[in-house]
Amino acid sequence: MTLNILLAAKEERWPLYEGPLNDAFKAAGLVDVHLATDIAPSDVDYIVYAPNSDLKDFTPYTKAKAVLNLWAGVEGIVGNQTLTIPLTRMVDPGLTQGMIEWVCGHVMRHHLGMDAHINNPTHEWAPSPPALAWDRSVVVFGMGELGSACASALAKFGFNVSGWSRSEKTIEGVTSYHGAQGLKTALTKAEIAVLLLPDTAATNNTLNGETLAMMPKGAAIINPGRGPLIDDDALLQSLDAGHIGHATLDTFRIEPLPTDHPYWAHPKVTVTPHIAAETRAKYSSLTIAENIRRGQAGEPFLHLVDRSAGY
């Protein structure tokens, strides 16, 4: 019997995913597969889904066994009341490796003070060796798949790495904090803060006027997680007051970031265009194929979303 798999995504995704998905299906032993973008809803067995897809009503997909999200973030779909079948989020080696590289690169940039040498118009010769990684405190807020991977990678550089999450996590080489009191302690240690929390009602404005004031003076903030984790006005005020030293931001409440947004022109803000961890078809297709294989074999899906938690 043919397995009908719908790719629900913008038109430009089709040429990127058609080949890698079909190759991944074959490698997973899924031999009789029909992958397309225009299958009749009542015939669809699985939906491979990009959250910016036009598909919003899942009611007609009466036969579908799961919706397999192509992105790590599920905030755009998790609250959809028409979606009653299992929902998985994307975790794949390429996504994780991309995030590790971006986070480690920007942590090292701030740790070493690279900006002062990259942009030195007066040709000032002012030797000032940075602290060693052993003496620099880095805190990763959000210890899911991506946060844990980044924390472990930073620990290998020798940084004094801590991680904060809702519940206690145990990761070799990383000090764990959790809960409300743990958040306060983690903030006071965060000379460099990396935000990798999900976008939920509980994480909205995690960094606000009160919590920013708890951070060490001159701290650097790196946000490849979600835009709503930061109160933008509070961050700008803290930067202007000289308390926060710099913010490197990859995600925003509105994307693309409006051209007149204060972040663009602020001398203590670096804007990157949501590139920290892009889903790459070569690797994400393997995760999609494995989850479909599991669904067909009656095995638990990987990376199943907890609807009550929102991720």
Question: Pick the catalytic residue: 243, 266, 274, 293?
Answer: 274
Question: Would you call 136 a catalytic residue per the annotation?
Answer: no
Question: Would you call 274 a catalytic residue per the annotation?
Answer: yes
Question: Pick the catalytic residue: 166, 226, 246, 303?
Answer: 226
Contact 304, 85 (CB under 8 A): no
Q: How far apart are CA 195 and CA 215, in angstroms?
A: 14
What is the CA 164 to chain-centroid distance, rounded? 15
Phi, psi of 254 (to 5 degrees): -120, 125
Residues 6 or more apart from 129 whose CB is under 8 A from it? none
Tokens of 12: 């430009």
- Smallest CA-to-CA distance from 99 within 165, 149, 143 is with 149
What residue ranges in 135-240 does DSSP mark as E strands?
137-141, 160-165, 175-178, 192-195, 219-223
Residues 6 or more apart from 88 whose CB is under 8 A from it? 66, 67, 68, 69, 291, 301, 302, 303, 304, 305
Q: How far apart are CA 36 and CA 276, in angstroms?
A: 29
Residue 275 Ramachandran class (φ > 0 left, ψ -120 to 50 alpha, else beta): alpha
Beta bridge partners of 163: 140, 176
Known catalytic residues? 226, 274
